[in-house]
Homo-oligomer: A and B are copies of this chain.
């Protein structure tokens, strides 16, 4: 009578609809002809509504209600298998979120963010915050309503964090991010005077860059029989199933690292998806754990591996094989080029140190917004002041300031912190990998990345969603999440 089967059958449908929606989303960003964008939006909305109607429908509630007490959130004691208990609590979590926000508000948010995204594109192009302000204001007001429906224990912002990073709160984040700010600013001061070493090549053939991408994917063990690399305006990763993980990159003839970093970053995400527990596919435990954990996988490969001295000592000869003019410099010069530190106005162009300062600014502004301390109109000035205070540079325009990122227009408040969390998780996981694989540095120098990939698969990917991020960090590293590993990493790498 206490079977979990009906719940799992409904949950599987939701996962299948999501996987199909991901396929058409991938197509939209890669191959879809421009003239069908309107219909594609209809297809996406149709699948999302279908999925939402199953999750918030009475069948789902009826499948869940014998398994968990809604008032106390206690799982029926007749369920003794810890895996089943976990499946129930995760399904309950998803359900609670889906039924907490009324469909009318979901529709209103969908419509207003669609409009806001459109207005944001124009506003950014024409450097016109005033044009964006009223639609952004509406998105913020609706997000306030969403917060009220979702509810929170201590801080309204917690309701925004939780969907992206389960169980993350302002109380946990504030001290972490405060320490991160100090550590980062110290490192920045130390490195700011180091000069940019120039490269002896200005033009990088795209075909040879593509060869390097494919080479890196093969070396990283990204399985191209269960995934693809394509080209898109903004690199991204998506997956439909552990057997179908799609990533993209982009090529710039003048900026070699744009492609190499993007490829390794997205392949980090892609490896996570290829490594998810296939036996849990379709259940609440089969998916990735959180955005922060996902980002830890991309940043670990992009930065801790792909910008390390060991990597460039090993890979520079291969790079020179494609671009022989680079033989005019040695690998250490190239390594310095790759790791050059310099405050910039734009987050996505920033280095490993200043990146986190960009995130902290957004985190602090979002908190000020949702504690009613500042209003939409105050954002441009508040942004510029924080840029000057934290990075020492002041945006010359709102286009290069408050208007630079898409996230707020799509209502993704609470999302930015997961980028910095990703860096912290990555550093802590990487230290644990170094502990468990004593030869790791030599392996990276020898371009043998498979032991690291296998370690990540065993310790992180295969866990799926059967732990929380906090539990995972404790299990893998023996320590709770902290700033220390990242601090050690920065101080070791960025010294004069």
- The CA-CA distance from A226 to B32 in the complex, in Å, is 9
Hey, which chain B residues are within 8 Å of A42, CB to CB? 16
Instruction: Report yes or no: B47 in contact with A240, Cβ–Cβ below 8 A.
Output: no
Closest to A239 in B: B36
In the complex, whether A243 has a CB less than 8 A from a CB of chain B is yes
Instruction: Report yes or no: B24 in contact with A43, Cβ–Cβ below 8 A.
Output: no
Chain A 36-54, CB-CB to B under 8 Å as 1, else 0, gives: 1011101100110000000
Q: Which of A211-229 contact B (CB under 8 A)?
A: 223-228
Instruction: Please report whether the interface of chain A is mostly helix, strand, loop or mixed according to DSSP.
Output: helix
Instruction: Report yes or no: A36 in contact with B224, Cβ–Cβ below 8 A.
Output: no
In the complex, whether A35 has a CB less than 8 A from a CB of chain B is yes
Shortest distance between the CB of A180 and any CB in chain B (Å): 38
In the complex, whether A105 has a CB less than 8 A from a CB of chain B is no
Number of interface residues of A (CB under 8 A): 31
Instruction: Report yes or no: B36 in contact with A241, Cβ–Cβ below 8 A.
Output: yes
In the complex, whether A244 has a CB less than 8 A from a CB of chain B is yes
Among B19, B23, B31, B224, the residue within 8 A (CB) of A228 is B31
Among B33, B43, B225, the residue within 8 A (CB) of A20 is B43
Shortest distance between the CB of A3 and any CB in chain B (Å): 22
- The CA-CA distance from A381 to B225 in the complex, in Å, is 41
Chain A 197-223, CB-CB to B under 8 Å as 1, else 0, gives: 000000000000000000000000001
Which residues of A are interface residues toward B (Cβ below 8 A)?
A: 13, 16, 19-20, 23-24, 27, 31-36, 38-40, 42-43, 46-47, 223-228, 230, 240-241, 243-244
**A-B pairs with beta carbons under 8 Å apart, 21 shown:** A13-B46, A16-B46, A19-B39, A19-B43, A20-B24, A20-B43, A20-B46, A23-B24, A23-B27, A31-B31, A31-B228, A33-B225, A33-B227, A33-B244, A35-B225, A35-B226, A36-B226, A36-B243, A39-B240, A39-B243, A43-B240
